[in-house]
Structure 1
Amino acid sequence: MTKKVELTLACGDYEIVRALREGQVKPDGIELTILTEMDSTTRHWRFLRNGEFDVAEVSLSSYIAARGRNLPFNAIPVFLHRRFRHGFIFVNSKSGIREPKDLIGRRVGVKNYLVTATLWLRGILESEYGVPHQSIDWFAELDEDVDFTPPAGLKLTRLPDEKSVETMLLDGEIDALLHPDLIDAIVEKDPRVGRLFPDYKQDEIAYYKRTGIFPIMHVMGIRPEIVERHPWVPINLFQALNEAKRLAMQRMENPRVVPLAWYREAWEEQIDILGDDPWAYGLGERNRHNLETVVGYAHQQGLIDREIPLEELFLDVGQGRKRGEKYRV
């Protein structure tokens, strides 16, 4: 039997990796053990702090910060998680915050400062709405995925273990919260909390039409010793992940697979607004703009001391001009 390279891959349990997880797609020459049970923050920590996995879906902002500190990680341009962010700024209903500029001078919580969702939100607030990130008093609950020293002028307080930013928002100890996920208070319709952008979907559509950006949240990290030992692995992994995504999108076109009454209409709306492949991998023009924007935010906000070129951040997964399955001879 031909011996394959055995690798661990930690990622979310997404439809776009289903074919890989179930074995319908097999990366050439690689035997994968796929781990999907961890929450995102745990996975990012275990990869970036402890190097526990050979390959892992990891926070884009933490990866950028790690590379800015010359930590030993690489990545391939695979983006399993994207999300528009306007709907994830939550405000205390008694804070008097009605528009973005009302955040200036306020106490605002984050789960951790480096998380990609809040990097995007701070950048969007500053570039689109005139809210400087240094004009806010920040309160962070969790340790960072990589060591981070706040730059001069940044007001950042680390909370003690017994404090939760979600509870602090409800109790009025902070005025607003930038969060990567929906918080319980919103799901449960607690009147003490609302959204800064109540009509967030329309704000997100307008943002996309204005900028062409569907924010990238995560990249696919890979330990450099794997690349040194097997330089062909990044390309073969990229191909397999791309094929798994293609099969997922093909399957998801069928409205019968999703128990939502108006699913097909939502699918068609996505195509109308975002185009045929808004989840594209690689460093095409739209993804370059997306990534260069967030690298610029990372530099502006003091996560890195220079704007790192994308060619440094990502391994080359090309096979040469007009080579590959499409051009096979």
Structure 2
Amino acid sequence: MSKLSLTLACGNYEIVRALKEGAVQPEGIDLNILTDMDSTTRHWRFLRQEQFDVAEVSISSYIVSRDRGMPFRSIPVFLHRRFRHGFIFINTTKGITKPTDLIGRRVGVKSYQVSAILWLRGMLEHEYGVPHKSIEWFSELDEDVEFTPPEGLRLTKIADDKSIETMLAEGEIDALLHPDIIDPILDKDPRVGLLFPDYKAEEIAYYKKTGIFPIMHTMGFKAELVERFPWIVPNLYKAFEEAKAIAMKRLFNPRVVPLAWYQNAWEEQEEVLGKDPWQYGMTPLNVKNLETVVGYSHEQGLIKRRIPLDELFLSVSEGRKRGHFRA
């Protein structure tokens, strides 16, 4: 009997390794897995051109796509999470020493809509008293989904021949929110530093206060695919869960990772974030996480209404007390 062939685009993560290598195979599905592209390219190709059947996609852009009625759905599989306090970069000559020093400043972003930046704007506003409209924003890339800035938002797209990272180093902008570690930091350029030098302490304090380990990406589907083959939803969800379980079992052995103090890092993560900080599904912690990011998207004018989570995420339930064979 032939299987349904699907193309899946995602990051090359340890938690999907078993799927990529075929150790886990979703029942009835033959996956063609693509991992050789950066996140922004993958998101663009999925949301703008629908090149993949299933794709890891920006949670921010996915929420916007649903608000626009675009033909995508999602399951609660979150391959990428990251705390973001360490991704606020400053020009060291501008006298910026605390978050409120960003008020009234010129601040760059890779793109305005990207998940990391959505989270950071929300955190700055709600945790540190920096309203997002108090800043003049400069973006480098076009957005995953078309976006018209709401009234009162000052947002300028820089020229194609300019670099937002160079603008920061040369003082054309005062700060930069970015999803990646930027080149001036890697090059140890003294003109560029971090708003939070001890960002790890800030992130731990944030988690202890909020219980949020920010979700960056979700697993998107073409809507027509779900309509035609609804059975793929629980089957793929279970496959992602199984692949993650295999990865975590493997990573528990410190010999597999070439880091001197890896065991200490593993134990510290568990102490702070619990047994399964990378959990999938609509768990209480994930619900709070997702309601927060939807709220930020609405407050910042990316979406017109606070979309209920049951509209954003497909149910992966197989029924209460079902899903396991009885011997």
Could you say which residue in structure 2 is the equivalent of 1:34?
33
- In 2, Cα distance between the equivalents of 1:290 and 1:199? 24
- In 2, Cα distance between the equivalents of 1:226 and 1:72? 10
SS at match of 1:50: coil
Are residues 1:122 and 2:133 paired? Answer: no
TM-score scaled to structure 2, two decimals? 0.99
Residue by residue, what CA displacement relative to the aligned partner does 1:3-30 show, whole Å, maximum 9, x if unpaired? 1000000000000000000000000000
Could you say which residue in structure 2 is the equivalent of 1:309?
308
- In 2, Cα distance between the equivalents of 1:86 and 1:118? 11
- In 2, Cα distance between the equivalents of 1:181 and 1:86? 12
Could you say which residue in structure 1 is the equivalent of 2:91?
92
User: What is the Cα deviation at residue 185 of structure 1?
Assistant: 1.2
Aligned amino acid, residue 138 of structure 1: W
Could you say which residue in structure 2 is the equivalent of 1:190?
189
Could you say which residue in structure 2 is the equivalent of 1:109?
108
Aligned amino acid, residue 191 of structure 1: P
Could you say which residue in structure 2 is the equivalent of 1:165?
164
SS at match of 1:297: helix
SS at match of 1:181: coil
Could you say which residue in structure 2 is the equivalent of 1:179?
178
Aligned amino acid, residue 222 of structure 1: F
| Number of residue pairs matched by the alignment | 327
Runs of 4+ in 1 over 6 A off after TM superposition: none
Could you say which residue in structure 2 is the equivalent of 1:68?
67
Could you say which residue in structure 2 is the equivalent of 1:283?
282
User: What is the Cα deviation at residue 328 of structure 1?
Assistant: 3.5
Aligned amino acid, residue 245 of structure 1: K
Aligned amino acid, residue 261 of structure 1: A
- In 1, Cα distance between the equivalents of 2:159 and 2:218? 30
Could you say which residue in structure 1 is the equivalent of 2:47?
48
Could you say which residue in structure 1 is the equivalent of 2:251?
252
SS at match of 2:282: coil
Aligned ranges 1:218-237 → 2 under 5 Å? 218-237=217-236
User: What is the Cα deviation at residue 125 of structure 1?
Assistant: 0.2
SS at match of 2:130: coil
- In 2, Cα distance between the equivalents of 1:5 and 1:228? 14
- In 1, Cα distance between the equivalents of 2:243 and 2:261? 25
Could you say which residue in structure 2 is the equivalent of 1:296?
295
Identity of aligned residues (%): 70
- In 2, Cα distance between the equivalents of 1:328 and 1:155? 60
Residue by residue, what CA displacement relative to the aligned partner does 1:124-174 show, whole Å, maximum 9, x if unpaired? 000000000000000000000000000000000011100111000010000
SS at match of 2:31: strand
Could you say which residue in structure 2 is the equivalent of 1:241?
240
Aligned amino acid, residue 142 of structure 1: L
TM-score scaled to structure 1, two decimals? 0.99
- In 1, Cα distance between the equivalents of 2:157 and 2:35? 30
Aligned CA-pair RMSD = 0.7
- In 1, Cα distance between the equivalents of 2:251 and 2:265? 12
Aligned amino acid, residue 47 of structure 1: F
- In 1, Cα distance between the equivalents of 2:185 and 2:261? 23
User: What is the Cα deviation at residue 244 of structure 1?
Assistant: 0.1
SS at match of 1:147: coil
- In 1, Cα distance between the equivalents of 2:70 and 2:148? 15
Could you say which residue in structure 2 is the equivalent of 1:133?
132
Unaligned runs of 5+ in 1: none
- In 2, Cα distance between the equivalents of 1:269 and 1:220? 28
